Structure 1
């Protein structure tokens, strides 16, 4: 499942890809949870915080959900009480990173489309209202079982939407959206060791 993203393409290219105008954003090779990312919802595109704070939501045992959620499992995203009332969004990226290995000896892997293009990741979104009244748009990506490309390094992968299915994901019924939550076809992703990334910077 995505632990970090990267997106270095200009806003015009990203806008054309997701079908909505996005603001200019500096190229970033290391986008971490908690940071602002570009996302599109049914209401338009703009910056959202990566990570949903599910204030007021409870888990299956009736206890408050306290942790920030950066990924949501496709198998439960429409059923879990922590996600009740959320909307749907897409997150444009060039790829994401995963890690393998023991602590302090981990290898970072870069996952991107074999054709070198952009990807639209399925996501959920809502608005967090802070105690002081500030409203923060927030988003979490949706994950599914991995395809053969990702399986050797991780047991989950991002749900990747085809460009022609973006509108269905954003505005279709739950049943229509559920049909899209499946692994990308085998062979369409490349997985290579990530090099030259400053893990403390952009």
Structure 2
């Protein structure tokens, strides 16, 4: 699962790292170290041959699923080809850039947050699915989810699932509309940044509050 992430650089910074100097921006989201569900965050995608960066609502539920399934913030990688996600896998692939994400360990009421990031402190390009369009009744109709997979390589100590992360070049391939859904799944399976590329440290419980922000909440706590 991924319930919060650190997106502390600007969308234009991440676009430059992807080589998207020609990107069309419809994004006014400010950088944040504590992006939470229910907020609008910049999502990279392709539309009519253009590189686009649009603010999209983090949470999704198909309009037809109202009252049938709960609103989601993540999509399980192993279920991307099912009926619910297949349309977005074909037409709604996106990338959410970040510096890291948060997970929690411990018992309810005593949860310890952890900041997970690359050992080389490079950017993360998180796989996303989104409905890029207007909503009718609920903002989640036009929202996004992050794609998660089974955790491994010691990350099970933190959580049993983690976001699927790609390198910049592979992220651009994921967004290529000429890539079929099955090819996109294979790309993600074969090219995901491995668990051993990441490290993590404890951070302040201030991150538990959705409105908390600032670089101080990403700092490691002393044991």
Tell me which interval the TM-score lies in, with the shorter structure as reference length: 0.7 to 0.9
TM-score (norm: length of structure 2): 0.78
- Alignment equivalent of 1:105, drawn from 102, 110, 124: 110
Displaced runs of 4+ in structure 1, greater than 6 A?
Answer: none
How far apart, in 1, do the equivalents of 2:102 and 2:37 lie? Answer: 12
Give the stretch that moved more between structures: 158-167 or 9-18.
9-18
TM-score (norm: length of structure 1): 0.86
Q: 1:56 aligned to 2:67?
A: no
* Count of residue correspondences: 195
Residue 135 of structure 1 and its aligned partner are, at CA, apart by 9.9
Report what 2:12 is aligned to: 12
Give per-residue Cα distances to partners, 1:135-188, cap 9 Å, x unaligned. Answer: 974111111111314221111111111111122211211122111333532321
Give per-residue Cα distances to partners, 1:34-71, cap 9 Å, x unaligned. Answer: 1111111222111001111221049xxxxx53311110
- Alignment equivalent of 2:193, drawn from 174, 184, 188: 184
Root mean square deviation of aligned Cα = 2.4
Unaligned runs of at least 5 residues, structure 2: 214-223
SS in 1 for 2:126: strand
How far apart, in 1, do the equivalents of 2:12 and 2:137 lie? Answer: 36
Kept in 1, the 8 Å contact 2:71–2:140? The answer is no
Report what 2:204 is aligned to: 195
Q: How does 1:140-155 map to 2 (within 5 A)?
A: 140-155=145-160
Kept in 1, the 8 Å contact 2:58–2:73? The answer is yes
Q: Which has the higher helix share?
A: 2
Structure 1 residues 135 and 153: alpha-carbon distance in aligned structure 2, compared to 1, 3 A threshold = closer
Kept in 2, the 8 Å contact 1:49–1:136? The answer is no
- Alignment equivalent of 1:130, drawn from 126, 129, 136: 136
